[in-house]
């Protein structure tokens, strides 16, 4: 693991955080999409002899994105990130879940954040969720955890969301 560790250390010293260029219409916020993450880290990793692979694997009745950092020496590091999505047998929901898993896995694995353009928003209180917001979120394939990250949700609303 010596060669990949050295290469990753050097690569991380050159990496910058990806830019938040995509907009989430539901949460009305900007985020760094998968392409922005890839553009920020893969060229730097490649310049240090590290390639990135993200195959989908099935393990213990769950689907995961397996993120592999493969060094030219043959050494590798790998990590699993569960693919989570609400609607079974829905290709769009599954594709969205795969993209989320790939994005968060790669970002976490190489330890980059995203430029913070909403630091003030993080310290402000969250608006209260409404039935309309919950319905739009559910229809859009969002999880209750994603809604709770942006809105204040009561226990009753959480039950309502599950039953929508």
Strand partners, 62: 59
pLDDT in tens, 73-103: 999 999 999 999 888 888 998 998 999 999 9
How many degrees, rounded to 5, is the angle at CA 134 between CA 131 and CA 135?
A: 85
- Whether 116 shows a pLDDT value over 60: the answer reads no
- 8: alpha, beta or left? (left if phi > 0; alpha if psi -120 to 50): alpha
User: Whole-model pTM above 0.95?
Assistant: no
Confidence of residue 27 (pLDDT cuts 50, 70, 90): low
- Give exposure, 36-46, as e/b (b: 16+ Cβ within 10 Å): bbbebbbebbe
Across the strands, what pairs with 68?
53, 78
pLDDT per position as a tens digit, 1-18: 999 999 999 999 999 888
């Amino acid at each position: 693991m010596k060669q990949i560790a050295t290469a990753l250390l050097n690569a991380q010293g050159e990496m910058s955080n990806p830019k938040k260029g995509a907009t989430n219409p539901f949460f009305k916020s900007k985020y760094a999409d998968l392409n922005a993450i890839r553009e920020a880290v893969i060229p730097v990793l490649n310049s240090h002899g590290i390639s990135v692979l993200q195959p989908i694997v099935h393990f213990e009745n769950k689907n995961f994105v397996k993120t592999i950092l493969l060094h030219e020496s043959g050494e590798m590091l790998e990590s699993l990130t569960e693919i989570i999505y609400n609607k079974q047998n829905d290709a769009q929901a599954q594709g969205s879940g795969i993209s989320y898993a790939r994005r968060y896995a790669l970002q976490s694995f190489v330890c980059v954040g995203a430029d913070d353009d909403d630091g003030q928003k993080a310290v402000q209180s969250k608006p209260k969720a409404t039935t309309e917001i919950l319905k739009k979120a559910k229809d859009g394939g969002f999880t209750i955890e994603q809604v709770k990250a942006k809105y204040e949700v009561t226990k009753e609303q959480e039950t309502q969301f599950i039953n929508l």
